[in-house]
Amino acid sequence: MKEISKGQWISQDQWDKYIHHFSPIEFSEDPLKYSDFQTIKNLESFRSSISRRIFPSPASGALARFSSSKRSQHYVGSDMGGDIRGEVDTNTSKKSQAVDVFIEGNALINWSFVLACQLFKGVGIYLDTEYHYRPWPMFHLDTREKGYMSGALIWVRYREEYYYPQLNDSDRLAVRGIFRSCILLKENIFKR
Residue 6, domain member (yes or no): no
Residue 174, domain member (yes or no): yes
More confident: 141 or 172? 141
Residue 85, domain member (yes or no): yes
Residue 4, domain member (yes or no): no
| Burial 126-148, CB ≥16 within 10 A → b, else e | bbebebeeeebbbbbbbbeeebe
- Helix, strand, coil distribution of the chain in percent, nearest 5: 30, 20, 50
Residue 88 has pLDDT above 70, yes or no: no
Would you state the torsion angle of the CA atoms of residues 130, 51, 47, 29, taken in this order, to the nearest 10 degrees?
Answer: -40
Tens digit of each residue's pLDDT (9 = 90 or more) over 109-118: 899 999 999 9
Per-residue pLDDT band at 139 (split at 50, 70, 90): very high
Residue 124, domain member (yes or no): yes
Tell me the residue range of the domain where 134 lies. Answer: 12-190
Structurally, how many domains does the chain consist of?
1
Residue 160, domain member (yes or no): yes
Residue 3, domain member (yes or no): no
Residue 5, domain member (yes or no): no
